[in-house]
Structure 1
Amino acid sequence: MTKKIKIGVIGCGNISGIYLDNFRKLFGFIEVTACADLDPARAKARADEFGVPTACTVKKLLSSPDVDIVVNLTIPNAHAEINLDAIEAGKHVYCEKPLAINRKDGLKVLKAADKKGLLVGCAPDTFLGAGFQTCRKLIDDGAIGEPLAASAFMVCRGHESWHPDPGFYYQPGGGPMFDMGPYYLTALISLMGPIRRVTGSTKITFPERIITSQPNYGKAIKVNTPTHIAGIMDFANGAIGTITTSFDVWGAQLPNIECYGSAGTLSTPDPNGFGGTIRLLRAREKEWVDVPLIDRYADNSRGLGVADMAKAIVSGDKHRANGKMAYHVLDIMQSFQDASESGKHIEITSSCKQPEVLPVNLFL
């Protein structure tokens, strides 16, 4: 691929560093031309650190002819607004998860992009890493037989002990499901396909959290989103899944994701990473075996989804970390809350295609 796709990054907080570093080191066909932040000093610091030629306002970045894709790394509550502004400016957009904090805004983004013939992408892209691409190949090759069920667990004590500004994690668009759920749900969809129905229970366990990290040590956070969510999922292929996400747990000894089939069990790596250990137990065998990774993206390769999207802009092919799948994940996450409030199963009206396997040589 000879044409370079030009990237503008909006939001220069914690997560921006790994994106900017990977754009510079891993993908030669991507060029970051500008970065912007509500805090001009933060944008300038990132530009200086990673050799980005322009640090500017959001408005200037969106009007720049040197930006093909806007990579939106703002806080969740700002995702939809920035996505829509980028699309209105004629830019493709790739957003950190979640796509939006509610279905209405998520649909607005997809419809606006479709009307203008623009692409929408969304994190997470960890399912494109070596770990889950290897898991996908194992399932596709019949290593566990017919997939029958899956379980997923993400439990921790929350982010107020380490994050410098953790308040948004406890507002709508945050919490363990909207913060970490996309990694797990996207991984499950990549392995087993879309989800047709869910139910669940959700709870705000502690109405207030105290920050124990600097620079806001001792400040209180009012919690306005559930911090413990237990969900049940019916996949379109007939499999049943369970998921638990929590910011209320001091410690646990639980697997990340396991897939159970008619001929074995697959234990996956952490879906918040790109590599990790894969373990397989075949039917009637007593010993688990470690499975080697088949791909090279085993380190922190955030931005892989942007690279796949950039390729799609040039080739006209479909990209994998796409807006339709991100909206399906958003719909599922919101439906767990709806199910808890209504005491019913919720039929998932959205769907998506199970993403294609990432060719090993795609970015060579």
Structure 2
Amino acid sequence: MGEPHRIGIVGTGWISGAYLRTLRDHPAVTIAAVADLDASRAASVAEGITGCRALPVDSLLRDDSITTILNLTVPAAHASVALSAITNNKQVYGEKPLTSDMSSARSLLERAATAGVAVGCAPDTVLGTGVQTARAAVDAGAIGRPLSAVAVMATPGHERWHHHPDFYYVPGGGPLLDMGPYYLTALVHLLGPVAAVTGASSRLRATRVIGSGPREGERIPVSVDTHVTGVLHHASGALSTITTSFDAVRTTAAPIEVHGETGTLAVPDPNLFAGDVRLFALGASEWQTVRPSAGYADASRGIGLLDMLTAPAPRASGTLALHVLDAMTSLLRSAGEGRRIELTTTTERPDPMPLVPAATWRSRP
């Protein structure tokens, strides 16, 4: 058994707490240092982790004792932080999306390949028992030949709860780049890569009002479309319809439904790791709940990083994240140009997950 991977975390905002709950005491990793533009926030996080240092961002990225960077910065900084890490010969696992544009994402993966370092990217929620049990059912023929899927994410906007929601409403943000990675990554797991897209989008209003926190009542500008919908033309021939919206109040639609010749699967929220998978078979009279049969049980954010460090073929890979980014940016381009867009990337479906009990993955070095 080798030494634990020494990790440096860049970005100690809200989402870092979810990662720390998974990684802080895991035997495969040591959180060696943290950094944030807010030095006091980084110091506060470091105090709660044995042996962890709070460093300036540049110092952490250059630290030779750190082998892996966990990049939890805002989307606009994903590319620059990841490229700096690669330049310093470190592998990188980042929050979604991989970057905010295809040019920087391609450059990132090319630089990583040249340097011989791995790149991984969220979301890893799709590695939990929810999406993986649904995939196992599809692969086992529970719905026959898959024909189509419908994915829906509808909220009234993150400014209602987020204290600093500005980045959701500037280029690199919006409902598709923010929440779309969960749904598109799940759809690639379920139905395979996307060959082309057709999109449409709209914007409800030009400003948003922050609903809580120290800036409550402040009006911020909106410079991206806040309702995006479209069709994904999968290479397999299946068609997926996706809607992501910051302009809707509520929906009764299942997060994802997959339709096949002999049945329909209702897939739980891909922003969560678990949830009931339900099957309605042709000729049945009611939905049946499918027993969890695949995925990391009781997982939480950070499982994708552990998978990257320990699995023979990482499932939350940079290649998959690049393809998902290609699909999303192509949808936005299609909406703007009013035409079908062929994707320039593809990816293999990640290896399916067996069922891994929580006690197993939490103790695996």
Please give the secondary structure, in 2, of the residue aligned with 1:245.
Answer: strand
Query: Match for 2:351: what amino acid?
Result: E
Contact kept? 1:36, 1:56, Cα under 8 Å: yes
- Cα distance, 1:300 vs. partner? 5.1
- Aligned counterparts of 2:270 and 2:121: Cα–Cα separation in 1: 15
**Corresponding residue of 2:235:** 236
2:340 alignment counterpart: 345
Task: Report SS of the residue matched to 1:160.
Answer: helix
Q: For residues 110-161 of structure 1, what are the alpha-carbon distances to aligned partners after superposition, in whole Å with 9 as ceiling and x for unaligned?
A: 1110110111100001111111111111111111111100000000001111
User: What's 1:307 paired with?
Assistant: 306
Equivalent-residue separation in structure 2 for 1:93 and 1:137 (angstroms) = 29
**Residue aligning to 2:159:** 160
- 2:34 is the alignment partner of 1:35: yes
Counterpart for residue 360 of structure 1? 355
What residue number does 1:327 align with?
322
CA distance in 2, matches of 1:227, 1:101: 16
Query: CA-to-partner distance for each residue in 1:286-315, whole Å, 9 max, x for gaps?
Result: 110111212573445100110011114xxx
Q: Judging changes above 3 Å, is the alpha-carbon distance between structure 1 residues 300 and 319 closer, same or farther for their aligned structure 2 residues?
A: closer
1:98 aligns to what? 97
The amino acid of 1:233's aligned partner reads L
2:62 maps to what in 1? Answer: 63
Q: Give the drift of 1:336.
A: 0.9
Given that 2:177 and 2:328 are in contact with CA atoms closer than 8 Å, whether structure 1 keeps it comes out as yes
Aligned residues: CA RMSD: 1.3
Answer yes or no: is the 8 Å Cα contact 1:73–1:95 preserved in 2.
yes
Aligned twin of 1:15: 15
The offset of 1:104, in angstroms, is: 0.6
Go from structure 1 to structure 2 and tell me whether the alpha carbon gap of 1:244 and 1:52 turns closer, same or farther (over 3 Å shift).
Answer: farther
Report the counterpart of residue 114 of structure 1 in structure 2.
113
Structure 1 CA distance, aligned partners of 2:96 and 2:35?
19
- List structure 1 runs of 4+ shifted beyond 4 angstroms: none
- 1:276, 1:298 within 8 Å by CA — same for their partners in 2? no
Q: CA deviation at 1:334?
A: 0.7
CA displacement at 1:58 relative to structure 2: 0.9
Decide whether the 8 Å contact of 2:201 with 2:335 is kept in 1.
Answer: yes
Partner-residue secondary structure (3-state), 2:265:
strand
Aligned to 2:6: 6
Please say if residues 295 and 353 of structure 2, whose CA atoms lie closer than 8 Å, have aligned partners that are also in contact.
Answer: no
Count of residue pairs brought into register by the alignment: 359
Alignment-derived partner of residue 185 in structure 1: 184
Residue aligning to 1:290: 289
CA deviation profile, 1:79-113 (whole Å, cap 9, x unmatched): 00001000001000011000111111111111110
State the 1:53 CA deviation.
Answer: 1.5
Question: Could you tell me how far apart the structure 2 residues matched to 1:43 and 1:89 are?
Answer: 21
Check the 8 A contact 1:20/1:50 in 2, yes or no: no
Letter in 1 for 2:307: D
CA distance in 2, matches of 1:120, 1:241: 27
Three-state SS of the structure 2 residue aligned to 1:353 is: coil
Q: CA deviation at 1:340?
A: 1.2
SS in structure 1 at match of 2:109? helix
* CA distance in structure 1 between the aligned counterparts of 2:237 and 2:354, rounded to whole angstroms: 28
For 1:214, the equivalent position in structure 2 comes to 213
How far does residue 344 in structure 1 lie from its aligned partner after superposition? 0.7
| Deviating more after overlay: 2-11 vs 289-298 | 289-298
Note if contact 1:21-1:50 (Cα within 8 Å) is conserved in structure 2: no
Structure-2 separation of matches of 1:103 and 1:37: 26
TM-score by length of 2: 0.96
| Distance of aligned partners of 1:52 and 1:214 in 2 relative to their CA distance in 1, 3 Å threshold | farther
Q: Matches of 1:21 and 1:44 in 2, distance apart? A: 17
SS at 2:43's partner residue? helix
Single out whichever of 236-245 and 27-36 deviates more from structure 2: 27-36
1:211-290 superposed matches below 5 A = 211-290=210-289
Paired residues of 1:256 and 1:271 also in contact (CA < 8 A): yes
Deviation, structure 1 residue 216: 0.8
**Structure 1 residues 312-361: Cα deviation after superposition (integer angstroms, max 9, x where no partner):** 4xxxx221100111011111111111111111100011111100012334
TM-score, length-scaled by structure 1: 0.96
Letter in 1 for 2:252: Q
Name the CA distance, whole Å, in 2 between partners of 1:194 and 1:9: 31
TM-superposed CA distance for 1:50, in Å, is 3.5
1:165-176, aligned counterparts within 5 Å?
Answer: 165-176=164-175
Q: Summarize deviations over 1:163-196 as a string: whole Å, max 9, x none.
A: 1111111111111100000000000001111000
- Offset, 1:48: 1.6
Mapped pair 1:129 → 2:128: yes
- 1:80 paired with 2:75, answer no
Counterpart of 1:35 in 2: which secondary structure? strand
Compared CA separation, residues 277 and 34, structure 1 to 2 (3 A): same
SS in 1 for 2:315: coil
State the shift of 1:202 in Å: 1.0
Q: Which runs of 5+ in 1 are unaligned?
A: none
Deviates more, 1:136-145 or 1:59-68: 59-68
